[in-house]
C-alpha cells in the first residue's frame, strides 16, 4: 500500500513535514506510556518509536490506516488498537496511566479533550496538534474573548502551554485553517473545593449567554435563587478565573 487516502468524514489531514512531527514527539515528557490518537500513516509514530523512554501505543479508527501501519510498522502493530479512542476504557487498558498524544482530527478535538478531562487521574500529560483557534481558546487566560467553557474546565485541572503554530502547507490535503501544538500537564489540584458536577453546570450556564452578565445566564438555568445577588453577577463569564468559578459554584449551591 503506497499511501492512505484522506477521508473528510474522519477529519483527516496528514502531516507531511518530518521536522514538525519530530518537534511534537520531542514535546512528550518521558519516561511514559504514550497513546497516539489517530496514527494515520505513522508520520508522528515513527518519531515516538525512536524514543527509548516511551512505550508507544496507538489507536486508529480508519481501517485503511491500520492496514498501512501493519505493513510499514510491523513491530508496532501488537500495540496498535483498531478502535475509537472516544469509546475506549482507558482505566481498563492503562490502569497505571497514559500520556495522550497525536495530530488530532479537527472534527473531534474538543471531544478528545473532554475524554482527557474525564480521565484526568490517568492522564498526566496530553500533547496534541489541533486547529489554532481551538488551541488559543484552551490556553487563553480569563479576560480574553476566546476564553470559554473548555478553557475553564481544562485549566482547572491542567497547566496548558501553547507550543507552536503549524501552517497549512505541511498537510495533505491542506486544511483551510492554521494548526497549533499544545501541551497539557496535570496540575497539583486534587479537589476543586466545590461540587464538581455543579461546577461544570455553572461554567456551562455562565457561558450559555456569554454576551450577557452572569446574572442573566445563571438565572436562565437556576431560577431566581431567592432574589439574592453575588458580586460576580455584574460580570461576564470570560472575566472569571477558575478560582472565581469555584467561589460562584459554592454560592449557587447555597442559594439555588
Give 146-195 pLDDT, tens digit per residue: 899 999 999 999 999 999 999 999 988 888 899 999 999 999 999 999 99
Give the tens place of pLDDT for each residue, 210-236.
788 999 999 999 998 988 999 999 999
Mean pLDDT confidence for 201-211: 91
Please tell me the predicted confidence (pLDDT) of residue 98: 98
Please tell me the predicted confidence (pLDDT) of residue 234: 95
CATH topology of domain 8-186: Rossmann fold (3.40.50)
Q: What is the pTM of this model?
A: 0.93
Question: Domain 196-255: which CATH class?
Answer: mainly alpha
> d(Cα 143, Cα 41) in Å, to the nearest integer?
40
Q: Give phi and psi for 125, each to the nearest 5.
A: -155, 150
Extents of the domains making up the chain: 8-186, 196-255
Mean pLDDT rounded to a whole number for the chain: 94
What are the start-end ranges of the E strands in the chain? 14-15, 32-37, 54-59, 80-81, 99-103, 125-131, 158-166, 171-172, 179-186
Which carries the bigger pLDDT value, residue 252 or residue 6? 252
C-alpha dist (Å) from residue 249 to 11, 155, 228, 238: 36, 16, 14, 15
Q: Is-contact 178 168, C-beta < 8 A?
A: yes
The three grid cell numbers given for residue 147, joined into one nine-digit string: 476564553
Helix runs in 186-237, H state only: 196-206, 214-222
What 3-state class would DSSP assign to 33? Answer: strand
Please tell me the predicted confidence (pLDDT) of residue 1: 63
Amino acid at each position: 500500500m503506497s499511501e492512505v487516502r484522506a477521508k473528510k468524514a474522519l477529519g483527516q489531514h496528514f502531516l507531511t513535514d518530518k521536522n514538525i512531527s519530530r518537534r511534537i514527539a520531542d514535546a512528550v515528557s518521558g519516561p511514559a506510556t504514550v497513546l497516539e490518537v489517530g496514527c494515520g500513516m505513522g508520520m508522528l509514530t515513527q518519531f515516538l518509536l525512536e524514543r527509548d523512554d516511551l512505550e508507544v501505543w496507538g489507536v486508529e479508527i480508519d481501517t485503511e490506516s491500520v492496514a498501512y501501519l501493519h505493513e510499514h510498522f510491523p513491530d508496532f502493530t501488537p500495540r496498535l488498537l483498531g478502535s475509537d479512542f472516544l469509546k475506549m476504557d482507558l482505566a481498563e487498558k492503562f490502569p497505571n496511566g497514559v500520556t495522550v498524544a497525536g495530530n488530532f482530527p479537527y472534527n473531534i478535538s474538543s471531544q478528545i479533550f473532554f475524554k482527557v478531562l474525564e480521565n484526568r487521574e490517568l492522564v498526566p500529560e496530553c500533547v496534541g496538534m489541533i486547529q489554532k483557534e481551538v488551541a488559543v481558546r484552551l490556553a487563553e487566560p480569563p479576560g480574553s474573548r476566546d476564553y470559554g467553557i473548555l478553557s475553564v474546565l481544562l485549566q482547572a485541572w491542567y497547566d496548558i502551554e501553547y507550543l507552536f503554530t503549524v501552517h497549512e502547507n505541511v498537510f495533505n490535503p491542506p486544511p483551510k485553517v492554521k494548526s497549533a501544538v499544545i501541551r497539557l500537564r496535570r496540575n497539583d489540584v486534587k479537589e476543586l473545593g466545590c461540587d464538581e458536577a455543579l461546577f461544570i453546570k455553572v461554567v456551562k450556564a455562565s457561558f450559555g449567554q456569554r454576551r450577557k452578565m452572569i446574572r442573566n445566564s445563571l438565572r436562565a438555568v437556576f431560577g431566581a435563587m431567592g432574589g439574592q445577588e453575588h458580586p460576580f453577577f455584574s460580570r461576564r463569564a470570560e472575566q472569571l478565573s477558575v478560582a472565581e468559578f469555584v467561589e460562584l459554584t459554592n454560592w449557587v449551591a447555597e442559594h439555588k
